[in-house]
Amino acid sequence: MDWKGRRRSDNVEDRRHMSASRAGGAPALGLILRFLPFLLKTKAGRILLLVGAVGYAGMHFMGVDVLNLSGPGQVSSSSAPLSEKDKEMGEFVSVVLANTEDIWTPLFQQMGRTYEKPVLVLFRNSVNSACGYAQAAMGPFYCPGDNKLYIDLSFYEDMKNKLGAPGDFAQAYVIAHEVGHHVQNLLGVLQRTRQAQAGLSQAEANRLSVKQELQADCFAGLWGHYADKDFRLLEDGDIEEALNAAAAIGDDKLQQQSQGTVRPESFTHGTSRQRMEWFKRGLQTGSVAACDTFR
C-alpha cells in the first residue's frame, strides 16, 4: 500500500501504555445474571436482555482465538515503551482509519445519512470496553456499545506467522472489516440481526451471524474499491494479500486447524470461500446495495 504521508485520523485512542484489569464490565454482568431468571420470565424482561446484549457483545474479526492455534501466547509487559515499529504501525492504522472516514462520509451522504466516525483503540494484552473486558487473544473487535474498534497490533504478527496472512493491505482489511461493523451499527443492521436471532436455535442464529460477518467483509472490500479508485492507495499484489487473508480466516479453515474437524452449524463468520467472495464483491462493485448478504 502507498500509505505514507497520507492524512491521519484524529480518532485513534492509543492505550498501549495502559494495562486493563478484569473489573470493568463484571459488575454489570453480575447484576444481569442475578436477575436473569426474573428477566427471562417476562416479555419486557426478554426485550431488555436483548437490548443489553446488543451493547454488550463485541463483533469480532474471526471466530477462533488466534493464539489457540498454537497453544498459549507469550505475555509481554504493557508498560514497555513503544518501539519505532510500534510507532509506525500506529501511524499506519491511523492513515487507514482516516481513509475509511473519507470514503464512508460521502457514501452516507448519498444515502441521506450522516457518518458518525468511530474511534479506534490501540491496546496491549487486554482492554476494558463497553462490551466488557477483552484479551488480545480474542482478536480485533468492534463494540457497538461505545462505537469503538479495538485492536492489539500483535494480531498482525499472528496473521503473518500463525495464519500465513502477511501484508499491509491484509492488515488494512482487518480495520475495514471492523469499520464495516460500525457501518452496520449506524444502519441498524446489528440491532435487526440481534432481534431476529432472539428465539432462534443456535444453528439458525449462527446463520444470521454469518450473513452479518460476510456483509462486514463486503463493506471492507467496498472500502478497498474507493481506496484504489479515488485515493490510489493500492499497489500490485495488495488485492491478493487481502484475499489470502480472507481465505485464512474462514471458519472451516480455522476449525480444521484448531480442532481437526469442521462443524458448519457452528460457523459464525463464513467459510474461506464465502469470505473471499463477499470481499471481492464489495471490491468490484463499490456498492452498498450489492453487499446485502441478508437478501
In the complex with Zn ion, the residue whose CB is nearer, 20 or 249, is 249
Determine the 3-state secondary structure of 244 from DSSP.
Answer: helix
CA-to-CA distance for 28 and 107, rounded, in angstroms?
36
Which of these segments, 59-67, 84-92, 132-140, 241-249, binds Zn ion (CB under 5 A)?
A: 59-67
Binding-site size, Zn ion (CB under 5 A)? 3
Residue 183, SS3 per DSSP: helix
Cβ 185 to Zn ion, closest distance in Å?
A: 12
Minimum CB–partner distance for residue 36 and Zn ion (Å): 27
Nearer to Zn ion, 85 or 180 (CB): 180
- For residue 68, the minimal CB distance to Zn ion (Å) is 18
Interaction with Zn ion in 197-236: which residues (CB under 5 A)?
Answer: 213, 216
User: In this structure, what are the phi and psi dihedrals at residue 21, rounded to the nearest 5 degrees?
Assistant: -115, 165
The closest alpha carbon to 78, from 70, 86, 67, belongs to 86
* Closest separation in Å from C-beta 118 to Zn ion: 14
67 or 143: CB nearest Zn ion? 143
Write out the three cell numbers for 171: 492488515
Quick check: 69 and 155 in contact, CB under 8 A? no
Any idea which residue has 474461506 for its cell? 272
| Binding segment (CB under 5 A) for Zn ion, from list 16-24, 51-59, 152-160, 235-243 | 51-59
Return the H-helix or E-strand segment holding 216. helix 202-229
Q: What is the DSSP letter of 69?
A: B
Please tell me the distance from the alpha carbon of residue 137 to that of residue 148, in angstroms, as a whole number: 18
By rule CB under 5 A, what string of x and - marks binding of each residue 109-128 to Zn ion?
--------------------
d(CA 129, CA 121): 10
Closer to Zn ion by Cβ: residue 213 or 228: 213
* Shortest Å distance, C-beta 61 to Zn ion: 5
Instruction: Please state, as a whole number, how many other Cβ atoms lie within 10 Å of the Cβ of residue 133.
Output: 17
128 forms bridges with which residues in the sheet? 133
Measured between alpha carbons, how far is 288 from 283 in angstroms, rounded to an integer? 11
Q: Which of 20, 59, 175, 283 binds Zn ion (CB under 5 A)?
A: 59
Of 86 and 146, which has the nearer Cβ to Zn ion? 146
What's the min distance (Å) between Cβ of 181 and Zn ion? 6
Q: Which stretch binds Zn ion (CB under 5 A): 25-33, 58-66, 128-136, 218-226?
A: 58-66
Closest CB to Zn ion among residues 168, 213: 213
For the CB of residue 177, give the shortest distance to Zn ion in the complex, in Å.
6
Choose between 1 and 59: whose C-beta lies nearer to Zn ion: 59
Cα(136)–Cα(157) distance, integer angstroms: 12
Which residues here bind Zn ion, judged by CB under 5 A? 59, 213, 216
